[in-house]
Amino acid sequence: MTDSIQARLDAAGIVLPAAPAPVAAYVAYTVHENVVTVSGQLPFKDGALTQTGLCGDSVDADAGYAAARVCAINLLAQVADACGGDLERVQRCLRLGGFVASTTDFHEQPKVVNGASELIGEIFGDKGKHARAAVGVAVLPLNASVEVEGTFVIA
């Protein structure tokens, strides 16, 4: 793929927000050697959650997918910050951890977390191919429907 990351962001209609601030006593990411560990991101957009509630209850898989995509946009914003604004420095997404607030009869966590995984693939191509764990949790901070954390290798 020869497109620039910026071109792919544009194609996806994504304007990266300012990297969201953590909601508590920690930082948004750490860097050790060339690995960036990004804190769990909630589906914040313009300072508000785009989706709250449990998947399987008030939230269906499509709405969960959309929320996971917003989480991934925030992951990108954090990684961009770690890269001094230059996402071309990303060498690989190593892993995403996806937590889906779920009723006990909702089993489509993979489909929901794909909202994050597919965005990472869209933007980074082969460098976006990551390992993943996706699980259904009882509830998330601020009643968010999805939380996604990630680790990335940067140059």
Instruction: Say whether residue 11 binds its own copies (CB under 8 A).
Output: no
Instruction: Say whether residue 125 binds its own copies (CB under 8 A).
Output: no
Instruction: Say whether residue 8 binds its own copies (CB under 8 A).
Output: no
Among 16, 60, 66, 132, binds its own copies (CB under 8 A): 132
What is the spatial distance between Cα 55 and Cα 76, in angstroms, rounded to a whole number? 24
Among 5, 9, 39, 51, binds its own copies (CB under 8 A): 39
Question: Given the complex with its own copies, which of 15 and 114 has the nearer CB atom?
Answer: 114
What is the spatial distance between Cα 121 and Cα 69, in angstroms, rounded to a whole number? 12
CB within 8 Å of 34: residues ≥ 6 apart: 91, 153, 154, 155
* Residue 133: strand pairing partners: 97
Question: Given the complex with its own copies, which of 15 and 47 has the nearer CB atom?
Answer: 47
Q: Which residue stretch of 3-11, 12-20, 69-77, 103-111 sits at the interface with its own copies (rule: CB under 8 A)? A: 103-111
| Nearest distance from C-beta of residue 82 to its own copies, angstroms | 10
Question: Cβ distance 12 to 123 under 8 Å?
Answer: yes
Question: Given the complex with its own copies, which of 29 and 83 has the nearer CB atom?
Answer: 29
> 85, exposed or middle or buried, with CB in 10 Å at 0-12, 13-18, 19+?
exposed
Instruction: Say whether residue 30 binds its own copies (CB under 8 A).
Output: yes
